[in-house]
Copies of this chain bind each other. A is one copy, B any other.
Amino acid sequence: MIYLDHAAATPVSPKALAAMLPYFSEQFYNPSAPYLPAKRVREAYETAKDEIAHTIGAKGVDLVITAGATESINLAFTASHGKVLTLETEHSAVLEAVKQHDHDLVKVDKNGLISLDDFKHKLDSKVEFVSISLANNELGTIQPLAEIAEIIRQERQKRYQNSNTTPLYLHSDASQALNLLDINVARMGIDLLTLNAAKCGGPKGVGALYIGHGVKLHPLTLGGGQERGLRSGTENVPGVIAFAAAATEAKSHLNGNRKKYQEMTRIFRQELTKTLARSPASVPNTPIIAQNAEKSNSNHNTGFPQVQFLGNSKRQLANFCPICFSGLDAERLIYRLETRGVLISTGAACAANKGSKSHVLTAIGLSDAEIAGSLRISFGSTNTLDNVRQAAQVIREEALHEFERISHGR
Contact = CB atoms under 8 A, between A and B. Distances in A.
A206 interface: yes
A234 interface: yes
What interface size band does chain A fall in?
35 or more
Interface in A345-366: 345-346, 348-354
A35 B334 contact: yes
A238 B204 contact: yes
Given A9-B29, A237-B204, A343 B35 contact: yes
B224 A71 contact: no
A309 to B, nearest CB: 22
Interface stretch (A62-70, A185-193, A253-261, A289-297): A62-70
B236 A205 contact: yes
- Number of copies of this protein chain within its complex: 2
Interface in A275-292: none
A234 B204 contact: yes
A59 to B, nearest CB: 21
A24 interface: yes
The binding surface of chain A is classed by DSSP as loop
A37 B338 CA distance: 10
B8 A25 contact: no
B237 A351 contact: no
Interface in A205-230: 205-206, 220-226
Interface string A371-399: 00000000000000000000000000000
A130 to B, nearest CB: 18
A224 B30 contact: no
A3 B129 CA distance: 48
The 7 nearest A-B residue pairs measured at CB? A224-B350, A205-B236, A93-B223, A70-B233, A96-B222, A67-B67, A32-B353
Interface of A: 1, 5, 8-14, 17, 24-26, 28-30, 32-38, 66-71, 73-74, 91-93, 96-97, 99-100, 198, 203-206, 220-226, 232-239, 331, 334, 338, 343-346, 348-354
21 contacts: A5-B29, A8-B33, A12-B24, A30-B349, A33-B352, A34-B345, A34-B352, A34-B353, A35-B338, A35-B345, A70-B222, A70-B234, A100-B222, A204-B238, A204-B239, A205-B206, A205-B236, A205-B238, A220-B221, A225-B350, A234-B349
